[in-house]
Structure 1
Amino acid sequence: MAEDTDPTLVDRIVTSLSAEIESGQLLPNARLLQNDIAARFAASHVPVREAFRRLEAMGLAISLPRRGVRVAGVDAASHFEALEMRAVLEGLALRHAFAHYPAGHLAKLVAADQACSLAQTEAAWGEANRSFHSCLIAPCPMPGLLAEIGRLNSVLRRGEVQLGGRQRLSLPRDDREHKAILAALRSGEAERAATVLVQHIRRGHLSRSL
């Protein structure tokens, strides 16, 4: 396959740049220069432009007349909007996922929650917490819905970095709302689990990404 149309090259560029944007390594309004990025990835401008289009679709970049492609910022209003949307959509995804849980899936959720409870560092807790939330909705048979939740999570992670306001956690810690979600799922009460999940996510506004 020709380099200009190689999707794996575009994926590599998108993955790398999105990680740098979400971590704050690339700051809001920083210009993404085609020549520099093409040289960095030993690519022509064609896959770089395609990567830029994907980053724009993900809300990570914005194309401005006469100012080029730049890293998109997250303000308090867009962070709140993303959190509200994520809360509602993740609850919806859980409602649809529950009916498709394979055998042993609840055990995986329990293990993911236990990893949260055992975490000794903020980084370890964050990774375990993301795994728990991902496992909750992974069986949802709506790929478009899951993709939108992923996009919103990206906005929230960037907002956490750009806006600050995170509360430091006292670790190790148990999450009572995780336990309440698991209890509802064990009882077959998907609606109750989804309601607790929505409330749980909303508590994260400008404190931390859940």
Structure 2
Amino acid sequence: MIANGSTTVAAHIEQSVGERIISGALQPGAPLRQDHVAREFNSSHVPVREAFRRLEAHHLVVAEPRRGVRVAPLDTKSVKEIAEMRAALEVVALRNSAPKLTSAHLARIELALIEGDNAQTIEEFEKANRAFHQALVAPCGMPRLLANLDGLQLANSRLVFAMARSAGWRPRSNQDHRLIVQALRTRNVDQACNLLARHIQTIERLALPA
């Protein structure tokens, strides 16, 4: 078990390196050397290895025999895998979350929707988008599932930034999110789940080359 101090350092390294990967500052395939990262953060190799393990669990890096740790690819296969996993797991989470949604939960979901609509930068939009999807499933009461979804959502955030870099981004209303909220307010769980799955699959289609 890693000592508390090392765990704190590992979390700091994970957050810092993860943000660079998500924003695109670290490109797909870029190598991540333990010694270089340890030197940058003035740490031993133990928290660096832990940070790499966490980043791998979030689908942001891959560890390959004889090649070490690299930034995870954003190729067609990876994009499809992320989208299919999210569509399956997030729908399961929503089915378990929807019956437990209170007026307070719905207010948080709608706040994230409004913040996404009002976003003026891709960074503001991505933060609101992540908050919306997390709020949808938060009451499901399935911590292992939620942990997996957090990692997949971070991987999805990479797609959002990558699409913004390649195709540009402009402020706009997210009609998919609005329709999901409407279905939840009328307690139409099947419709909300179908809309959510379609929404996630739309992200996949937009991210993949024609």
Instruction: Please give the TM-score of this superposition, normalised by the length of structure 1.
Output: 0.83
Provide the residue aligned with 1:131 in structure 2: 131
Looking at structure 2, the residues matched to 82 and 38 of structure 1 have their Cα atoms a distance apart, in angstroms, of: 29
Q: Tell which structure's C-alpha radius of gyration is larger.
A: 1
Provide the residue aligned with 2:193 in structure 1: 194
Provide the residue aligned with 1:92 in structure 2: 92
Aligned residues: 206
Query: 1:57: Cα distance to partner?
Result: 3.0
Looking at structure 1, the residues matched to 131 and 105 of structure 2 have their Cα atoms a distance apart, in angstroms, of: 13
Provide the residue aligned with 1:76 in structure 2: 76
Query: 1:141: Cα distance to partner?
Result: 0.7
Looking at structure 2, the residues matched to 88 and 46 of structure 1 have their Cα atoms a distance apart, in angstroms, of: 34
Q: Secondary structure at the match of 1:207?
A: helix
Provide the residue aligned with 1:49 in structure 2: 49
Provide the residue aligned with 1:183 in structure 2: 182
Query: 1:25: Cα distance to partner?
Result: 1.5
Is 1:205 aligned to 2:204, yes or no?
Answer: yes
Deviations 1:70-104 (A, max 9, x none): 22212112201211221222121111112222442
Amino acid at match of 1:205: E
> Structure 1 stretches of 5 or more lacking a match?
none
Query: 1:3: Cα distance to partner?
Result: 6.5
Instruction: Please give the TM-score of this superposition, normalised by the length of structure 2.
Output: 0.83
Looking at structure 2, the residues matched to 128 and 164 of structure 1 have their Cα atoms a distance apart, in angstroms, of: 15
Aligned alpha-carbon RMSD (Å): 2.6
> How do 1:29-48 residues align onto structure 2 when only pairs under 5 Å count?
29-48=29-48
Provide the residue aligned with 1:109 in structure 2: 109
Provide the residue aligned with 1:26 in structure 2: 26
